[in-house]
Amino acid sequence: MTRRKGCGCFSLIIIILIIALLVGIGIKNKDKILAFFYPTEYESIISEYCDQYGVDKWLVFALIKAESGFDADAVSAAGAYGLMQLMPDTAQWLIDRGEFAMEATAALENPRENLQLGIYYLSVLFENYQDEQGYTDPAIVIAAYNAGMGSVSEWLNDGTWDGSLSNVSDIPYPETERHVKSVLRNYQTYTDFMPNRLIKNSREKSFYKSEKVLA
């Protein structure tokens, strides 16, 4: 995963500045400004696979913004590739699990296949961490995407973290804690300001609209 520096206060300041700028320049230029700070590239592909795998497209946009900044050629120091910043071994596991006709290295470098694998991975994580009512807290999914299922399952099983966003500070990996908050701030902005710009996803849901921890 590409490491990003910053803090919650900085993100909040950016959002405030965007709002102020939108008010100052008028509504007619709003979409251009929002698209600059919160891109929606590859929207048709993302919507296609989100519908196929039952994943919220807004969460995918938020994750890509945090992971790669929509740079399809991004390669992290750890060796994660592409828009969804997938590791080669994770890609191979997903290809085997989903029985996809892909070759891992080529798939990671192909934006469409990278997106398909990443969105499929999110669907696997949502299914893996369902509670008895069939609900999965997106904070758990994002944490597992960042730190791995093994680490997150260990935290949940030994009581280190209860899997909730409200107790995200209990995550023992500071990078993962920051990443969860970053992705969900992005998600909040996408859902607050851009609901009419994208192709509709019949399965989309809204998470954390009022969680103060994101501020």
Give catalytic residue positions. 67
> Please, which residues have CB within 8 angstroms of residue 63's CB and are 6 or more apart in sequence?
84, 118, 122, 142, 145, 183, 186
Output the six-digit token pair for 27.
């509504």
Separation of alpha carbons 21 and 193, rounded Å: 14
Q: How far apart are CA 137 and CA 78, in angstroms?
A: 27
Task: Compute the distance between CA of residue 38 and CA of residue 32 in angstroms, rounded to an integer.
Answer: 10
Biggest distance spanned by C-alpha atoms of the chain = 52
Taking Cα atoms as reference points, which of 210, 134, 132, 145 lies closest to residue 175? 145
Which residue is associated with the tokens 């849901």?
205
Burial degree of 13 (CB within 10 A; 0-12, 13-18, 19+): exposed
